Amino acid sequence: LLLLFLMSLSPYLTPLLLLLVIVGGSFAAAGECTIESQIASGNFQQRLHDLEDIARANAGNRAAGTSGYQKSVDYVTSVLEKYTNYTVTVQSFPFQEWYMKTTPSLKQLLPFDQTFAYGTDFSVMRGATFDGTVKSRVIVVANKGCKSSDYPKEVSGNIAIIERNDCGFKEKVAFAVEAGAVGVVIVNVDGGPITSRVGYPTIPVMSLSAEIGKAIILEASTGDVVLSMELSSISITRETYNIIADMPGGDPNNVMLIGSHLDSVPAGPGINDNGSGTTTNLEIALAFSKCLADPKLGVRFAWWGAEELGLLGSTHYVENLKKNDPAELKRIALNVNLDMIASPNFVYFIYNGVTAPEPIRDGSARIQTLFQKAMESLGEDPASSAM
């Protein structure tokens, strides 16, 4: 699977579209049916307004599991079914909806009393499902807790405190649970507390700011520190959806997948994040349907669900293929991800394909080169901003 993720692209989509032409094939020369004319005449603004109207009519958002998201799915599928001859599939998958029932609490009881401010001093890591209070000793985990051997036997029955970085939060928490921890505190390396997903452990998992967390680590390294963690949270299994649209023709053994997440955060309608990617993906799909006469590759479009909850929709798609159709997964030659591409303070950034994991490094580097050539043809110099 060759991966390239785009970030903060200009609202002018020509570099992206040039890449799609290069890998997608030739466009019909009938009248004004060109990629440029179709995109230029696209309904970007109207579609963004449509998504905002959906959100406003549905509690102000289009988050996974909500009526706003269902209406967004209906909107995209209806446009595809009306204006293209693509095979459109709505793929359902379960996800865990997590929320806190009450405001959490974190206090230090020893060597002195101290109450930490929620949101400023500490936060709760999303997914940790627990109802009650844990009062226990703090045990410092070595080496940022990325191996099971980093967790001393004293972690069992106590609260593990772990510094951020070197591995994922889920991994750290899983090791702590395996070691018998009754609670986990993640310490940021700089700045305030972190809010991120940690799977669905059944112990409280919180994060401390760098200043407070490092002070506690120092105290716990030389004496007893006791914390009180109070959390009342719940996780409910819900259903949400991906949309997959396959274009006829092209090489079925080499598929270009163009994806974007369809859901918003609960706090708003998600017009830049990711209405911009959603509508761009939709307009490209319409232009391809009308003008792409002879695609070299198979072309597949995807709108992912529950991205804001941790890339759940795209992960489900890949894991489902791994389990049920691994040959189909191997046929995907290229993935382009459209996310937040309408930022007014845009810059041209290209992820450095050379730094990609080994299985996808060669392909990612080749894709990076294609983007660079496309941008350079327009007088841009993306090399200086390669990441």
Residues 6+ apart with CB under 8 A from 155: 139, 141, 176, 179, 180, 181
Which DSSP string do the residues of 184-206 spell out, in sequence order? EEEE-SSSS----B----SS-EE
Structure tokens at 260: 């974007």
Catalytic residues: 307
Between CA 314 and CA 17 the distance in angstroms is 23
What's the distance, Cα to Cα, between the start and end of the chain in Å?
20
Give the dihedral sign, CA 181/184/188/191.
negative
* Residue among 295, 371, 353, 285 nearest 1 (CA): 353
225 SS3 class: coil
Residues 6+ apart with CB under 8 A from 61: 55, 68, 264, 265, 266, 267, 268, 269, 270
Between CA 263 and CA 121 the distance in angstroms is 30
Structure tokens at 328: 């189909």
**Left, alpha or beta for 199 (phi > 0: left; psi -120 to 50: alpha)?**
left
The string over 48-84, giving b where at least 16 C-beta atoms fall within 10 Å of a residue's C-beta and e elsewhere, is bebbbebbeebebbbbbbbebbbbbbebbbebbeeeb
At which residue do the structure tokens 């865990």 appear?
96
Integer angstrom CA distances of residue 104 from 137, 182, 284, 317, 368: 19, 16, 45, 34, 45
